[in-house]
């Protein structure tokens, strides 16, 4: 196989407008694609748990170019998805992570904007007062990590 990288990671959300308010407006990602698709054709019915008529797909990303992976947010207009976000010790994609220059400063900024940390700030702080990684919850309770590069 001659893969060149990760093209995207898709996350199904309950309320796309709330998710856009988080990923676009708070985290500063930019929308590069927004479309409503018919999910009754093209093989899509076979990869859904429940019958769905449509899917709204919005791609958001940092940076430019096609080598930068997109985060794809999907919802189903008129339908509610089922299920709950998973934790780090459960099967499935447990979180997404972004590398940032100053994790501690970002944590303070996110908290000031009402973003819930996935634990008290001192749980992310080492004995020297440094913070190399934090986790927050998006509007659906999905874990989002920010690290200083090389986080896990």
pTM of the entire structure? 0.88
Report the C-alpha gap between 47 and 150 in whole angstroms.
33
Report the C-alpha gap between 76 and 141 in whole angstroms.
18
What's residue 151's pLDDT? 47
Residues of the chain with CATH 3.10.180.10: 8-75, 95-147
Half-sphere exposure of 140 (CA within 13 A, CB side): 25
CATH number for the segment(s) 8-75? 3.10.180.10
pLDDT in tens for each of the 152 residues of the chain? 887 788 889 999 999 999 999 999 999 999 999 999 998 887 777 788 888 889 999 999 998 766 678 999 999 998 888 888 999 999 988 999 999 999 999 999 999 999 999 999 999 999 998 899 999 999 999 999 999 986 44
Write down the CATH superfamily of domain 95-147: 2,3-Dihydroxybiphenyl 1,2-Dioxygenase, domain 1 (3.10.180.10)
């Amino acid at each position: 196989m001659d893969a060149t990288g990760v093209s995207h990671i898709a996350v199904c959300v309950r309320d796309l407008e709330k998710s856009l308010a988080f990923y676009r407006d708070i985290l500063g990602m930019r929308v590069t694609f927004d479309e409503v698709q018919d999910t009754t054709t093209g093989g899509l019915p076979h990869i859904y748990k429940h019958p769905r008529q449509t899917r709204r797909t919005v791609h958001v990303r940092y940076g430019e170019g096609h080598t930068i992976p997109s985060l794809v947010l999907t919802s189903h207009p008129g339908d509610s998805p089922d299920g709950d976000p998973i934790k780090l010790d459960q099967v499935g994609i447990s979180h997404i992570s972004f590398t940032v220059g100053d994790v501690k400063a970002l944590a303070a900024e996110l908290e000031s904007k009402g973003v819930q940390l996935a634990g008290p700030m001192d749980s992310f702080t080492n004995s020297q007062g440094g913070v190399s990684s934090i986790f927050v919850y998006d509007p659906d309770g999905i874990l989002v990590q920010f690290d200083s590069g090389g986080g896990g």
